[in-house]
Structure 1
């Protein structure tokens, strides 16, 4: 919902226009169903102008042969892999290992939408990978562009009402799109629809997390959640296990 896939698509297009050899794998769910055919299709695009390489790729019958093909290359590929979280299931660990082998000695750009436990694991894991965390939604200029683009299909709103929408959605594209779906002509009706839809999306996972907080930490947890909702400084003594990192983050000593 933060636009990661759009960013990866833009990177892939830019690299292709720059005549780089790009291997674009946009959907790991599809990849997991038939890894060999999915990756071969991507490699066909990579070498669409090289009949000799196309023949080599076409001859690959399993993942090991694809890995050997990538290892044999005298040029650097740009692997762009989206929705890596689809491979988190234990039955797909072999696919992840093979992807890592295939991408060795090449550029490897990957994206995922991790759950709370995976977020904590990645933060604690020491690797030589550069990690970029996407928090928050559109910035001020991006929100101005969003309002300008969609004003014609939204109820008439003054600046204060727009501020309320931005506060509720966090400027997150996924949540802003809910407002576009409302088809309401009145601001209060649109706001009510937005509230109802967002509550249905986030109430269960947030409640499930809060239910895991030990009784001795409940009062502290409530105070911390209040700080997130009001964008204040967190109470002293908070730890990484005290909040759900999928929905909340602390930056510059402020809760978001």
Structure 2
């Protein structure tokens, strides 16, 4: 090997040595000081309510005291007599409603709209619905089963649930902030919200933002998609509910 070749190798080695001395400590320092560019997309740790990194949509989290709000733990009996808990919905995107089978006013509208949503996502095994009756004295599993058959509820992840009234009302009013109450002065004997809550695969309440940049929190379930608006000109929100379900299914 010629001296010229030796000088070339020596020169390359010298350049590598200088690079290591100058740049490697800077790279290590950036890592140690967390100065490396990071993905701002977030997901929530299922057990701690803390944010972890993953590919997320632009849907907002409902935050309480600065913490994303999770679905509270629950355990009820569904229309097939099975015990269903919040853990059965982990890994699924689902819609929450509170209703009762003898409701003469808003519940039929809400559930027809949810059946429309069900049919739209019929090919998705990780989509579901959680329907909680606010009249458990009447709404036994057998009654709920007949109600499901009547409305064409076929999604195996759509659970119509009954259980202790106190627990159901606490879940509605405190867990989801979806107003529910007994009221003998109103038609049907119960008063409750006509809104839906949307839950992501990790059990967090999600929604799109309004024109002011704040989470919408809930979706109006009282106007059919085909109607467009109600008599007061309020627009239907089933279309945007579908759009947001699709976003969460991709997360």
Question: Do Structure 1 and Structure 2 share a fold, with TM-score over 0.5?
Answer: no
Using structure 1 for the length normalisation, give the TM-score. Answer: 0.22
Larger-Rg structure: 2
More helix as a share of residues: 1
TM-score where L is the length of structure 2 = 0.22
The structure with the greater share of residues assigned to strand is 2
